[in-house]
Amino acid sequence: MKMKPDTQFLHTGNEIDPLYGASSVPIYQASTFHQGFDDEVLYDYARSGNPTRAALESIIATLEGGVRGFAFSSGMAAITAALLILPAGSHVIACEDLYGGTFRALTRVFSRLGIETTFVDATDPQNIARALRPNTHAVYLETPSNPTMRIIDIRACASIAKDAGALTMVDNTFMTPYFQKPHELGADIVLHSATKFLGGHSDVVAGVATVNSDALAKEMYLIQNGFGAILGPQDCFLVMRGIKTLGVRMRQSEATAIQMAAFLKEQPQVHTVYYPGLKEHEGHAIHARQATGPGALLSFALRDEETVRAFVTRLKLPLFAVSLGAVESILSYPIRMSHAAMPELERQKRGITAGLLRLSVGLEDAGDLIEDFRQAFAGL
C-alpha cells in the first residue's frame, strides 16, 4: 500500500514491539548481548547494533526512500561520517551557503586529511560543472540554504555529479522527508540533524543519514561502527517519538510561517524577507518543483546589530537560541550563533549581515506570534 506521509510516520513496520506487542519501540539500554556459543546473533555489541537504534534507522530509511539508514550522536557526526567515506586526496564541491559547522569541518578538519573543498554558488548548477576536477568525489548541497534560503536544483546538480562519477550528498534538515525527498531527485546520501525537525522538541541532539545503494550502506556502516559516533537508545527513542508527529508539526508551523513572512514583508523596519514561499523569492519555482511546501524557516534582515538587540530584547515568545525545528519558535542570530565559525568575509559574501535574524516557526498561535512581533517592532 502506498501510504501518505502522515500514515507513514506511524506505520513503517516498526510500530509494534515483536516480543510483547508494545505500542512503542522499547529502549534497549544494554551495551552487550548474550550469545549462545555457536549462535549466529543479530546483535553482539551495542556500538555495532542495538534494536532501538535499528528501529530508528529502519524508519528513516523508509521515510527518505533510502536503502539503509544510520543514526549518529549528532548531525555533525552524520555529516562527517558521510565525508569520511571519501578516499584520501578527494576534492569536494560544496554549495557556498552552508551550515557553519559543516563549513568548519570541511575547511579546518577535512582539509588536514588532504580533502579539499571548492565552494560554489550552486544556485547555478553550471558552477558545479565548472568546478569539477578529476578527483572530485562528492558534491555537497543544502537547500533551502542556511540562513538565506537560497534554492538549489537538486536534480540538475545530482545529474552533473553523477556524470562525473561523484556522489551527491544533501543535508535535508530544513525540509525533512515530509517536504522533500532528495533520493528521488538523485541524491546518493541524505543527511539530517535530527536535533531539529525530526526530534522536534529541543530535547535531543542526534543525526541520521540514508544511502541509496548497498555499496554505500557498507561504507557508511564501516564508518559508523569503526568511528563509533552512534546514537544512544534513549535518544533514538526520542527521535522516533518526534517523527510520529512530524506531519502535523510541519503543516502547522508552515501555515504560521506563511503568515509571518507576509507580516514581516509589511514592516518598514524589515529590509528583506528570505522565504521560499514568497513568489518573489529567488528559486521559488525550483523549490516548488522539488518540495511539497516552503517549510517553517525564514530569515529577515533588520538594519544593524543595534536594531537587532532592541528587537530581540522586546520579544517575549520565541526562544532566542541556536537551533531550529522545534515545537517552540526559535529566533537565532546567525553571525553570533550558527555562522560564528565562518570568517566575516565569507559571511558578507553570503548576505549573513549583522542585521540578519533567522526564525524557526513553532506551534504557537499565529496571532499571538504576530502580536508579539508587532509590539517588538513598535518599540524600535
Ligand X SMILES: *Cc1c(COP(=O)(O)O)cnc(C)c1O
**Which H helix or E strand runs over 93?**
strand 91-95
Instruction: Between 99 and 119, name the residue whose CB sits nearer to ligand X.
Output: 99
99 is catalytic: yes
Closest to 223 (Cα-Cα) out of 69, 93, 80, 65: 80
Nearer to ligand X, 127 or 172 (CB): 172
* Residue position matching grid coordinates 557553519: 100
Burial 158-196 (b: 16+ CB within 10 A, else e): bbbbeebebbbbbbbbbbbbbbbbbbebbbbbbbbbbbb
Q: Phi and psi (nearest 5°) for 283?
A: 90, 0
207 binds ligand X (CB under 6 A): yes
- Binding part of the chain for ligand X, among 94-102, 160-168, 181-189, 345-353 by CB under 6 A, reads 94-102
Query: Residues 171, 181, 274, 347: which is the catalytic one?
Result: 171
Q: Which residue is nearest to ligand X (CB)?
A: 75
Please state the closest distance from residue 100 (CB atom) to ligand X, in A: 9
Among 14, 74, 80, 117, binds ligand X (CB under 6 A): 74
C-alpha to C-alpha distances, 317 to 302, 331, 372, 374, 376, nearest whole angstrom:
19, 10, 7, 12, 11
Closest CB to ligand X among 127 and 145?
145
Q: Which of 214, 230, 223 is nearest to 83 (CA)?
A: 223
CB of 196: closest distance to ligand X in angstroms? 6
In whole angstroms, what is the distance from residue 238 CA to residue 198 CA? 9
Query: Nearest 5°: CA angle at 153, between 151 and 157?
Result: 130
Q: With binding defined as CB under 6 A, does residue 256 bind ligand X?
A: no
Q: Which is nearer to ligand X, 60 or 132 (CB)?
A: 60
- 76 belongs to the binding site for ligand X (CB under 6 A): yes
Does position 196 bind ligand X by CB under 6 A?
Answer: yes
How many whole angstroms separate alpha carbon 180 and alpha carbon 172?
A: 8
Name the one range near ligand X by CB under 6 A: 4-12, 68-76, 106-114, 181-189. 68-76
Q: Which of 69, 75, 125, 295 is the binder for ligand X (CB under 6 A)?
A: 75
Give the burial class of 1: count Cβ atoms within 10 A of its Cβ; 0-12 exposed, 13-18 middle, 19 or more buried: exposed
Total residues at interface with ligand X (CB under 6 A): 16
Of the pair 123, 173, the CB lying nearest ligand X is at: 173
Question: Are 69 and 194 within 8 A, CB to CB?
Answer: no
Q: Exactly one of 6, 43, 47, 314 is catalytic; which is it?
A: 47
CB of 371 to ligand X, least distance (A): 28
Q: What residues contact residue 355 under an 8 Å CB cut-off, 6+ apart? A: 271, 301, 302, 303, 304, 305, 307, 308
Is 350 catalytic? The answer is no
Among 86, 157, 167, 205, binds ligand X (CB under 6 A): 205
Single residue of 14, 90, 146, 212 touching ligand X by CB under 6 A: 146
As a three-state string, the secondary structure of 303-367 is CCHHHHHHHHHHCCCCEECCCCCCCCCEEECCCCCCCCCCCHHHHHHCCCCCCEEEEECCCCCHH
- Per-position x/- string for 175-194, each x denoting binding to ligand X as judged by CB under 6 A, each - no binding: ------------------x-
Stretch that binds ligand X, among 53-61, 99-107, 216-224, 292-300 (CB under 6 A): 99-107
Instruction: Give 287-291 contacts, CB < 8 A, sequence gap 24+.
Output: 287/143, 287/144, 287/151, 290/143, 290/153, 290/154, 290/155, 290/180, 290/185, 291/175, 291/179, 291/180
Q: Does 80 bind ligand X (CB under 6 A)?
A: no
Listed ranges 71-79, 121-129, 223-231, 300-308: which one lies at the site for ligand X (CB under 6 A): 71-79
Find the binding residues for ligand X in span 215-234 (CB under 6 A). none
Minimum distance of ligand X from residue 97's CB (angstroms): 10
Q: Pick the catalytic residue: 196, 249, 347, 350?
A: 196
Site string for ligand X, 3-42 (x = CB under 6 A): ----------------------------------------
Active site residues: 47, 99, 171, 196
Q: Which residues bind ligand X (CB under 6 A)?
A: 74-76, 99, 101-102, 142, 146, 171, 173-174, 193, 195-196, 205, 207
